[in-house]
Structure 1
Amino acid sequence: MADPSDPRTKPDPRVNPWRDDLAAEHLRGEIDAPVYARGHDRAVVAPVTALRRAPAHGAMMDTQLLLGEKFRVYEERGPWVWGQAQSDDYVGYVLAEDLGVDIAMTHRVTALRSFIYTDPDIKSRPLMAVSMGARLRVPGVEGAFAALPGGSYIFADHIGAADAHSHDFVQVAERFIGVPYLWGGRESLGLDCSALVQTALSMCGHACPRDSDMQEAVLGAPVSGNLARGDLVFWKGHVGILQDADTLLHANATHMCVVSEPFAPATKRIGETAGDIRQIRRMA
């Protein structure tokens, strides 16, 4: 059995909730910690909230959580809670005020972005804008609008059942062309390379980890023959999606947005900083 006190054998802290002073109860035996916590689930009530590496507004944003997504809280410390996103297991600190009671969500946003209104009327006051993938509970429908708890509304054609999925993840990703690049972002106002892949795949029903190295390790299988639409191209610290054998779709910090560009020159440019392509993988 691995020694739980040996740092070389400890599980990845990005997706396993442990610190030197605290660990999740289910890691007992894997992690040597003075305190273990069982945790409790809460749901995001803000349009989006940052998951940070430390409990401070200036700390690195590793990812974001969208409205309605679940977060398992293991510790509450002043305005911050520490825990784990239930959608992709990412661990970090979230503002407590952005979390509320965990309820079963029935739908999710399928439009790139939509508004939640005070009334079932396009002229009523918008309360917030929500991004593709945000989770909602819909108890009923009023005309062209879906009713939400608390008396708010969203345009019904901008949402779908939580268990309904798109069929072409490349087509989903193409809808983000022009969206700004944002390190750690997962929303339609800004996202990074691995979030583009994660969002597109999750909207098609595929489980997908958050970071590009995690995606490289588990998504699909290596490609040994001709390239095709949907192939995932991995460099060190970067990932893109092939729209076809000659065109790369990716969120990148050169253009600072999601772009579609010729694959060959993009590969040469990326290689100057990230090195050669490490793998090309294809979803089943």
Structure 2
Amino acid sequence: MSDRRLTPATDRVVLQGWQDQAPRPQLTDGRAARLAVPLADLCREPGGRRDRQVNFGADVTVIDETDGWSFVRAALDGYCGWLRSGALSDDLPPLTHRVRATATHVYPAPDMKRHQDFALSLGARLSVTRIADGFAELSGGGFVPAQHVADAPAADPVAVAERLLGTPYLWGGNSDWGIDCSGLVQAALTACDIACPGDSDLQRNAFPAVDDIQRGDLLFWPGHVAMAASPTRMIHATAWQMAVIWEDIPDAIARIDASGDGPFLGIRRPVRG
């Protein structure tokens, strides 16, 4: 049985190449689009429950549309869901940079004293036309502080995750406004150009198992994932504290097991592709 989250098909339409796995009355090549708002929920159905989120600059393939909603497949990880059609743009200039800071602002002019137009979160993708006077100018208009962007991947996923310490927990969240356990791991790994699925069960299946814990390894429980900073310390987004926190690994294993949410499922090691 195909995984709903990764199957680019609605009840009536399927993306070309997927018709054997998900036969539908209509076949489509899809349409390329890009998220043009700071953040959008990716929902199970139009107006339904949030599964994940996509950030500004995320490339998607539009597969189906109805009543102001678009069913899309995210280029980042293949995750599928519905988002509001008005959040998308057909303007697709080359993506050159990403937001490396926890959050930043987009200004109407290269002047930090101007009222900002909107905010962006860690990992937002940008098309920058030039950097001058301390600002990165965006192809679609707007200016971002140059200190907050990078044109190359980060080196250490743990250091990226650490920037989000204290971020409130949000089921399905993928930004500094709110994030969950798998969202934190995906944000940290993709900032380092390590391909990573969106949900913890998919993440566990994506990486090889190991016996020893090293910095950057992923630790798994049923429905939960954390990232090791050392053999004894981890960072994770947890509903237990409704925030991104540090926790000692032995304490976490004992606490989660005692709560009935265990058992500990082991260690996986992300690898660069």
User: Which bin holds the TM-score, normalised by the shorter protein?
Assistant: over 0.9
Matched residue of 2:201: which SS? helix
The answer on 1:230 being equivalent to 2:216 is yes
What residue ranges of structure 1 are gaps of 5+ in the alignment? 1-7
Whether contact under 8 Å (1:41, 1:102) holds in the other structure is: no
The answer on 1:212 being equivalent to 2:200 is yes
What TM-score comes out, normalization by structure 2 length?
0.95
State the alpha-carbon separation in 2 of the partners of residues 195 and 151 from structure 1.
Answer: 28
Letter in 1 for 2:45: A
Q: 2:88 aligns with which of 83, 99, 105?
A: 99
State the alpha-carbon separation in 1 of the partners of residues 137 and 269 from structure 2.
Answer: 39
Segment of structure 1 superposing worse, 30-39 or 206-215: 30-39
Matched residue of 2:101: which SS? coil
State the alpha-carbon separation in 2 of the partners of residues 95 and 20 from structure 1.
Answer: 18
Report deviation, 1:199: 0.7
Report the counterpart of residue 230 of structure 2 in structure 1: 244
Matched residue of 1:14: which SS? helix
The answer on 1:278 being equivalent to 2:265 is yes
Report the counterpart of residue 154 of structure 1 in structure 2: 144
Q: 2:173 aligns with which of 172, 185, 188?
A: 185
Report deviation, 1:138: 0.8
Identity %: 37
Report deviation, 1:62: 0.6
Alignment deviations for residues 219-265 of structure 1 (CA, whole Å, 9 cap, x no partner): 2x2122x3222221111100001111211210000100000012122
Q: Which runs of 4+ in 1 moved over 6 A?
A: none
Report deviation, 1:212: 0.5
Whether contact under 8 Å (2:170, 2:179) holds in the other structure is: yes
Report the counterpart of residue 49 of structure 2 in structure 1: 60
Q: 1:31 aligns with which of 12, 18, 22?
A: 22
Whether contact under 8 Å (2:7, 2:22) holds in the other structure is: no
What TM-score comes out, normalization by structure 1 length?
0.91
Report deviation, 1:132: 0.9
What residue ranges of structure 2 are gaps of 5+ in the alignment? none
Report deviation, 1:150: 4.1
State the alpha-carbon separation in 1 of the partners of residues 235 and 265 from structure 2.
Answer: 17
The answer on 1:263 being equivalent to 2:249 is yes
The alignment's C-alpha RMSD in Å is: 1.3
Matched residue of 1:267: which SS? helix
The answer on 1:195 being equivalent to 2:186 is no
Matched residue of 2:34: which SS? strand
